[in-house]
């Protein structure tokens, strides 16, 4: 049985019932593609201005993005520990 093709039973979802949701997904995919194109253009412009290869700039941005995400996660963990200490009556 093809997993992409719903079973031909009375329980199989009716695609007509999901048309609006499918269209919303397609719209989201189009927006993501446009955002990716804009991002690539921005990276190309900045790389050209600072005189480096796009791949190097992209890697540097990815590292910074990952570090910021890690910092946010560490801050959330710290906040959770502070709350736990306050609940236990420790300061």
Show the domain range for 35. Answer: 16-51
pLDDT one-digit tens code per residue, 39-65: 999 999 999 999 999 999 999 999 888
Are 30 and 59 contained in the same domain? no
Residue at 5 is within a domain: no
pLDDT score, position 33? 98
Phi-psi region of 89 (alpha: psi -120 to 50; beta: other; left: phi over 0): left
Tally of domains in the chain:
2
Q: What is the mean pLDDT of residues 29-48?
A: 97
pLDDT score, position 75? 84
Residue at 64 is within a domain: yes
Residue at 9 is within a domain: no
47: exposed, middle or buried (Cβ count in 10 Å: 0-12, 13-18, 19+): middle
Residue at 67 is within a domain: yes
**What count of other Cβ atoms lies within 10 Å of the Cβ of residue 58?**
15
Q: How far apart are CA 41 and CA 89, in angstroms?
A: 53
Q: Rounded to two decimals, what is the model's pTM?
A: 0.59
């Amino acid at each position: 049985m093809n997993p992409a093709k719903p079973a031909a039973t009375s329980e199989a979802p009716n695609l007509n019932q999901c048309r609006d949701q499918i269209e919303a997904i397609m719209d989201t995919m189009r927006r993501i593609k446009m955002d990716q194109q804009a991002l690539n253009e921005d990276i190309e412009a900045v790389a050209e201005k600072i005189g480096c290869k796009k791949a190097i700039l992209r890697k540097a941005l990815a590292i910074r993005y990952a570090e910021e995400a890690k910092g946010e996660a560490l801050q959330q963990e710290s906040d959770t520990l502070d709350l736990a200490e306050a609940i236990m009556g420790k300061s």
